[in-house]
Copies of this chain bind each other. A is one copy, B any other.
Amino acid sequence: MTATRSTRQRDVITRIMQAAQGPLAVADVHDRARSDLPGLGIATVYRTLKLLTDQGRIHPVTLDGETLYEASGQGHHHHFSCQDCGRVFTLHTCPVALPSGTVYPGGFIVRAHEVTLYGQCPDCAAQPG
């Protein structure tokens, strides 16, 4: 069996993912990680995000064509994408009630669902103009 090592790079990236308030792009993770590890290569970020994904510790979210990553195990939730500032927030309330196994009109058996809301975040709504 293949061993998996603990390294400074992995520790830093893992901590960043756990501390994030919403999903992050690969470039965001790279930028944040370089505060601690200036020489960190982008390839290591990709490899580590893939590793964490395979381990189920994080998972990808695709939004407007961009692939973002967020920590797993935060329970059922969805996202809000601000059309003004572009940031993505995690929503803790779910606007749909579709238990796994629900049969949708047309005979579609629902196992999971994803919802993304678009609009203006509180910060942008508070901005004048």
| Chain B positions within 8 Å of A105 at CB level | 91-93
Task: Please report whether the interface of chain A is mostly helix, strand, loop or mixed according to DSSP.
Answer: strand
A112 touches B119 (CB 8 A): yes
Q: Taking A62-B64, A113-B116 as contacts, is the C-beta distance between A121 and B93 under 8 angstroms? A: no
CA distance A64 to B62 in the complex (A): 6
How many copies of this chain are found per oligomer? 2
Given contacts A92-B106, A113-B116, A113-B118, 9 further A-B pairs with CB under 8 A are: A65-B67, A80-B104, A91-B105, A93-B105, A95-B113, A98-B117, A104-B117, A107-B125, A109-B125
The number of chain A residues with a CB under 8 A from chain B is: 36
CA distance A96 to B95 in the complex (A): 6
